[in-house]
Every structure is written in C-alpha cells, then in structure tokens.
Amino acid sequence: MSSEDYEDHLAFLKDSFLKNPEIKVLRQDEQIKTYLENLTLDIITNNEVFFKKIKKSTVTILDSESPLHFSLPKGQIFLSKGLISKYIKNESMLVCLLAFELVKSEKLLYPRQTVVPSGYISIEKMLNLNRLVLNEKMEVHKWAYHLTIRSGYDGEYYLTWLQTQNRNTADFIFQIGDANQISREESLFKAFLIKVDVEEKIIPKNISSKNFYKFLNRVRDIL
C-alpha cells in the first residue's frame, strides 16, 4: 500500500472497533464535545507548520475504568474515563497527552501491518497498533513536548505524565505492555529536558481553565 492507502485503511478501523459489543462509549454531551474539539484545535492551529494533514480532531471517550489512550490516523483520538477521572489532574497534562496522539496520527506512526477485520476489532488489537519501539516513542515525546509549549501550555507536565505512569505501572501495564519501557522513557526524557534549549518564549498557562474542571466533573458524573 501507499502511505495514503495505509492511512485510510487504519482510519476505517474505528468503525469495526466501536461496533464491538464489548466496547462501551461514554455519552458525551455538547459541553464535553466542544471542550475537547477546541483543545485539540488549539494544538493544531498553534502548530500549523507541523500539522500538514490534520486540520481537526475527534476525541472518543471509552467507558472503561482502565487508564487508556490511543489513536488512529486522521486525528482520531481515544481516551478512557478511568484515565481522565483518575490521572488527568491538570489541563496542561491533558494537552501533553493529546499532543502525543496527534503527533502519531499526523506522522502515521503506527506499526506497519495490514489488519483484515474479521468481526470486530478488540481493544488489545488497537493498543498493539499503537505501540512503538523505545527510540520511536521518544521522538514522539519530544515533538509533543514542543507542540505543547507552542500551544501555550506548561511542558513540564509532560514529565509529570511519564512519572505518573511509572509510579502506577500496575494500572498502566495493559496500556504500555512493558513495565521496563516506561521507566526508560522517564529516564531518557529527563536527559532530554536537561539538554533541550526551548526557543519558545511563550508564558505557559499554569492554571487550568474553568472549562477543564467542568469537563473533568462532567466525565466523572456520567454513568
């Protein structure tokens, strides 16, 4: 397949995944949908030099207590209720996570394999499609860190996000697959922060917006 064909092929897996009877999607009201659309658009519009293909993104919240996040091409992002309600404590951390998935989606950074849907796509298959080897994942982290800063958010929360996963390995093992890798990611990212020369002089938003807390409370309250 060409890159374009492969991109289309992976993007269409969303339908097979969401039709899986074991997958439950959280009912998103207009408030949640608008907030997430605006947040991803904020990242994209502030980094137009980077985003050549993606001009908007959709975020689907899975009704799962497991902390999960992954994506597909064309700006399709998936987060779980458990991830948001238990571990996303700051708006900048949420932006870091969204930026990470947007980088993968924009650059088509998924293991090169053809998936022939036979029935439904499982969540395990989706996670496998999103796992990168360590050196590839570190490049995504670096890009996402810079995109977060250029969007006006606090990039320091990127390290906080990696540390959160490392401290809660038992909860995140389904997501990351390899407990040793997240430890290496944290160590390598710290080394990256020591060396990085951040050219952006944007003053970060250190305080989460009111809309973030409204979003957090809405997700926690929806059954």
Q: Where are the domains of the chain?
A: 3-221
Tell me how far apart the alpha carbons of residues 115 and 139 are, in angstroms, rounded to a whole number.
25
pLDDT confidence bin for 217, thresholds 50/70/90: very high
Percent of the chain at pLDDT exceeding 70: 92
pLDDT of residue 162: 96
Q: What is the CA radius of gyration of the chain?
A: 17
Is residue 99 within 8 Å of 153, Cβ to Cβ? no
| Bigger pLDDT: 206 vs 99 | 99
Would you call 116 exposed, middle or buried from its count of C-beta atoms within 10 A (0-12, 13-18, 19+)?
exposed
pLDDT confidence bin for 66, thresholds 50/70/90: very high
